[in-house]
Structure 1
Amino acid sequence: MPDFDLGESIPPDTAHAVSVSLPTWRSNVGYEEGEDWVVNRMATGYPRFFIHKSIQILASDIVARFGPKDARALLFPTRKTAARCVEFVKRLAPPAVSAALETVHLVLDRTKPGTEALAPLSPAISAVIFPQDAYPFVKQYWQHTGDGASSRRAEFCHGLLKEGLLRLDDDDGASRGSVPASPVSPAVPSSPKPCRGPRRYQRPASFDMPKAPATPPSPPPQNNSSDRDSGIGPDIQETSRFLEERFGRNLDVSFVEPARSAIKRRIAGALRSDRELSMTPLPEREMESNTRGIANLREDDVYLFSCGMNAIFNAHRALLGARGGHLKSINFGFPYVDTLKILEKFGPGCVFYGHASEADLDDLERRLQGGERFLALFCEFPGNPLLTCPNLVRIRQLADAYDFAVVVDETIGTFANINVLPYADVVASSLTKIFSGDCNVMGGSAVLNPNGRYYRALKDFARAEFEEKDSYWPEDVMFMERNSRDFASRIDRINSNAEAICEALRQSPLIKSIFYPKFNESRANYEACKVPGAGYGGLISVVFHRCEHAMAFYDVLNTAKGPSLGTNFTLTSPYVLLAHYQELDWAEGFGVDRDLIRISVGLEATEHLVSVFKAALDAAGKSSNGQLE
């Protein structure tokens, strides 16, 4: 039975977990208010909002070695991603603030004995060093774009830095010599109490900087004399030789590229999930019979990114590069918060349609008929958190008639349940969610429709600008491939569990509204894209007639409770409080109730899950003013 303490990682005892326990309604509000009793207990958090401790420690070490006193740093996987961050800050921050930014680039020193085994990983890290006044701007870039370094990359590179196996790399690529080894890392500095509100990139502390230092766990040492003789510490040698150990087998680093290929083919719907990795390249003809229904779809039409938001950011960046940067985009439907921020801050702006309704499409069509032109329309299918499905058939018709691209985020629907690629130019997804399921690794994908109008221009941009192999860390690739092998079978179970929970919720007089694709007014739009024999997904949102019943239900519900979705276990969240705390009235203007509870359904036994939800409903009905009797 779930029993997670406040601030504990979800899953528990997981070094790279992507969720954190906020077990009561009050703790969610306390987090948003920046209250010490909540934020000081956070062991982790969602990675684009919470700066993982392994990243914090390496950043502090880099500042201590290379930066001025009292400076801070955030880490990026490549020189180009760090440069984009600096460019963003210089565009928004006062000149005196942006002028103080510095970058440091560290790469493997291949002149050192024993580093040959590490070369296939191409370990590197770039740091943007900045004064405290620049933090809100740097954090905006980190959060919105997903361009930041992963915690596994930071952990690995910090080990190399301490062993003296990284060197400074100048802007021209020349070495400035190895960085001296240092076995002791500086403590992570303490910070003042965080600011209020959901704009976490404005916070100087809370999730971003804990008050006590922490040391990321190291893998167990190898009892091998060659490890000791190589000059590489046992933790680094372990990671370089074995990126993951699971199901009783070791995976050598040579399997990184086969793993990358397997993920792409799985996303394309052209690979049997449980196939073992092989060094023999898979024949391209296997791609012809894919569940996307596009025979000319190729493996290299699928791109992997460090997280789902990074896939959306790069899709937008590619469209700006391919079509020119003068046209606004359209955000169609109530958005996941950072999608709207990307469209607003990284181009000429956007037009926002928050309902994703036919009336919204009517208005858009009038504007198009009046001569307005747009870069692209971005939408989710279904949307988060109301599970509304836009009319992709009509959107595609408008796009063809008026020359704009269509980008669909299929994270919630998942390609096992829906097929939206025929209606889109780009399909993006967060692999962190149900594709992985284990809640311990980040990832994202973008699929280009080879029959799309902008396909060639997008391919040319991707070939020149995307840094997939440098930016998506090999360890994360390996974990993602392993986690996703049973993706198809997990979806079936989650679909069934979600429908059973919906039926239980629909019988309660406490419930005002249930949002689920099967029961929404936009069901016909979902059915138009539904894979034959598939289901309606694992995400449900529910609104109670009375806030106090919602609070009591959440507090007593015996599931894991925290941010994220698509986990193999049921995960519940008062989503609107976390995503829109300072703009609750604005959200309600689009039908998104401030007390909405979002349920991400897991793989537990169906009968057990139904009993858990019925028990919570019974307890909520007996509560008084949100207090359980």
Structure 2
Amino acid sequence: MTTGYPRFFIHRSIQALAKDVIAKYATAKDSVAFLWPTRKIAARCVSFVQSRAPPEVLATLEVVHLVLDTSNPQSQPLRSLCPTISAVICCKEGFSYLKQYWQHTGDGISSRRAEFCHSLFKDGLLIEDEGPLKSPTSPSPKPCRGPKRYQRPGSVDVGKQQQPTIVNPDKDASRFLEERFGRNLDISFVEPAKSAIRRRIAGALTSDKELSTSPVPEKEMESNTRGIVNLREEDVYLFPAGMNAIFNAHRALLGARSSNLKSINFGFPYVDTLKILEKFGPGVVFYGHASESDLDDLESRLEKGERFLALFCEFPGNPLLTCPNLVRIRQLADKYDFAVLVDETIGTFANINVLQYSDIVVSSLTKIFSGDCNVMGGSAIFNPNSRYYSALKDFARTSFEDTYWPEDVMFMERNSRDFASRIDRINANAEAICEVLLQEADLIKTVFFPRYNESSANYEVVKVLGGGYGGLISVVFHRKEQAVAFYDAVDTAKGPSLGTNFTLTSPYVLLAHYQELDWAAQFGVDPDLIRISVGLEDTEDIVKVFKDALTAAAEATKA
């Protein structure tokens, strides 16, 4: 494999910038460099490496901070973008330690930031800064209409074409960016775009309307699908990746409560969530089934005096779509004083409302919220009714950095405008595919889907009016050769992500847990499980695709 998911593979644009940084600044030319958006993040990376790497690696650690050369007149229109890069450099033997921090935290720079900063670097506008990094102030950009590039038809309107629109704004910072870097980035719309994303996540903005630089009345937040009337836009935080939202939420809980308390990972986890809890704090207690008996065991431990920082869970879980009992978890949390963090990525807030039972809700915006596979993002919501709310907000004010690159923000806002209508189509397609799969009992051992799981009653408790069951399905066949034939025959894209606007099929367990298949199996996760992320195709067409693949699996059985 030469490329892959950005937290697991370093994007080629990032590699290209890192190579030039090494060539200019590294003491040893066979070094490796990982790039971060701020010096604080670079410092956290260095601390992580120092706690794990051997002395021979630590002896080669170098840190280079690159900032805009504000003495150059050409840099003036770029100051509000704050295009900073902090490089952590070391010998090639230190690669695995730097890579762990990159993968687990999601703190690394995006490919768009890399491309933009690489251009500045080549032209001498991005220079080394050896002193304290100061955030430059910038004049308020002139308000103007948003670029037509970000006004598009909904993704469900398959086949409709638009003619490109020529944009001719005034000669200000936006035009400078377009002329010099070939980008149509109207910086006056970055903050309104962030506001629109936050309100969309809060369930207070669902319409596909143009951005405006005019302030949005706060009263618009009072009515939201989350059912929390005192929820404010400032309670929604944006991050450059979904895992970065989890990482920073964990940091906030450690900072707001106690750095000495272990956390609970409840339910079979996405890979890096468990790694964060293991490696960036005092440890974790793992319950892999998310069952009632697991809750019985947890309650017993709590009754005996054990105390925890927080319980982390996914709703539904990945890949078994198990739905933990949030009502009971909330009762235990209130009684024994621990926080509840729920990852709603798979369920999505268009289908479920978990904030009412949570202190923090996180989501990967990279998935179905965006859908277009061309930008990453994450979010965290602090429940204003949480007993930890004030402490969490205090921590956020002093310790959170906004590192979401403006270009990524603009793409995410554009992509998410038709989120609600896309979810409706995906919900319908997923149920239609499930009906086909459930009819093939001779081939299929188990279909995992929130509507049909043993924990389906837990899903119904938080399902919103008019919501569905999401677009993720997992399937286990009776025999391996049936799974192989099905996977080879199914005429969809193949890959490890989820939430794409097109259907995506994956041998998920082999990809995510290849080095720990026996460990995964003890929690009911079959190594030959096939995970299906359902897309926006015509329902009749996508159903036929799966019927044909099931026919191939049946023929393999006969053979």
TM-score (norm 1): 0.81
* Whole-Å separation in 2 of the counterparts to 1:387 and 1:174: 46
The alpha-carbon distance between structure 1 residues 222 and 601, as it changes in their structure 2 partners (threshold 3 A), is closer
What CA deviation, in whole Å up to 9, does each residue of 1:205-241 have, x standing for no partner?
xxxxxxxxxxxxxxxx9999x89xx9x89774432xx
Q: Residues 382 and 413 of structure 1 are in contact (CA less than 8 Å); yes or no, is this contact kept in structure 2?
A: yes
In the TM superposition, what whole-angstrom CA distance separates every residue of 1:417-449 from its partner, at most 9, and x where no partner exists? 000001000000000000000011000000000
Q: Of 190, 193, 217, which residue of structure 2 is paired with 1:256?
A: 190
Which aligned segments of 4 or more residues in structure 1 are displaced greater than 6 angstroms? 221-224, 232-235
- Which position in structure 1 is the counterpart of 2:213? 279
- Please tell me whether residue 334 in structure 1 is matched to residue 263 in structure 2: no
TM-score normalised per structure 2: 0.91
The answer to whether the 8 A contact 1:561-1:571 is kept is yes
Q: What is the match of residue 313 of structure 1?
A: 247
Q: 1:598 aligns with which of 513, 528, 531?
A: 531
Aligned counterpart in structure 1 of residue 408 of structure 2, from 476, 480, 487: 476
Percentage identity across paired residues of the two chains: 73
Q: Which residue of 1 aligns with 2:141?
A: none
Aligned to 1:4: none
Paired with 2:546 and 2:249, the residues of 1 have a C-alpha distance of 39
User: For 2:92 and 2:181, how far apart are their aligned partners in 1?
Assistant: 36
In 1, are the aligned partners of 2:366 and 2:378 still within 8 Å (CA)?
A: yes
Q: In structure 2, do the counterparts of structure 1 residues 256 and 549 end up closer, same or farther at CA, with 3 Å as the change threshold?
A: same
**Number of the residue aligned with 2:472:** 539
Matches of 1:414 and 1:624 in 2, distance apart?
Answer: 37
- Match in the other structure for 2:368: 434
Paired position in structure 1 for 2:38 = 78
Are residues 1:114 and 2:77 paired?
no
TM-superposed CA distance for 1:174, in Å, is: 8.2
CA distance in 1, matches of 2:25, 2:73: 25
Task: Report SS of the residue matched to 2:333.
Answer: helix
Matched length:
525
Counterpart of 1:135 in structure 2 is 95
Q: Does 1:238 align with 2:182?
A: yes
Are residues 1:67 and 2:26 paired?
yes
1:436 alignment partner, SS class:
coil
Q: Using the TM superposition, give the Cα deviation of residue 273 of structure 1 relative to its aligned residue in structure 2, in angstroms.
A: 3.0
Query: Alignment partner for residue 6 of structure 2, among 47, 70, 75?
Result: 47
* Distance in 1 (alpha carbons) for counterparts of 2:376 and 2:368: 11
- Displacement of 1:112: 1.2
CA distance in 1, matches of 2:30, 2:438: 55
- Deviation (angstroms), 1:173: 3.4
| 1:384 maps onto 2:384 in alignment | no
- Aligned CA-pair RMSD: 1.9
Give the letter aligned to residue 83 of structure 2. Answer: P
Q: Which amino acid aligns with 2:413?
A: E
Aligned amino acid, residue 426 of structure 2 = I
Uncovered stretches (5+) of structure 1, i.e. residues with no partner: 1-38, 176-220, 244-251
Counterpart of 1:403 in structure 2 is 337
CA distance in 2, matches of 1:124, 1:607: 49
Question: 1:513 aligns to what?
Answer: 446
Aligned to 1:7: none
C-alpha distance in 2, partners of 1:103/1:85?
A: 10
Secondary structure in 2 aligned to 1:60? helix
Measured in 2, the distance between the counterparts of 1:259 and 1:605 equals: 31
State the distance in 2 between where 1:617 and 1:143 align: 36
Distance (Å, rounded) in 1 between the aligned partners of 2:468 and 2:497: 21
**Larger RCO (CA within 8 A; separation ≥ 6):** 1
**Aligned with residue 103 of structure 1, among 39, 58, 63:** 63
Asked if structure 2 preserves the Cα contact closer than 8 Å seen for 1:163 and 1:233, the reply is no
Deviations 1:54-76 (A, max 9, x none): 00000000000000221110111
Q: 1:504 aligns with which of 430, 433, 436?
A: 436
The residue that corresponds to 2:295 in the other structure is 361
Cα deviation digits, residues 241-286 of structure 1 (max 9, x gap): x12xxxxxxxx22100000000000000001330210000110011
Q: Deviations over 1:86-119 (max 9, x none)?
A: 0000011112312321111111112212322212
Counterparts of 1:257 and 1:236, CA distance in 2: 22
2:320–2:448 contact (8 Å) kept in structure 1: yes
Which letter maps to 2:78? L
Cα distance in 2 for residues equivalent to 1:95 and 1:223: 56
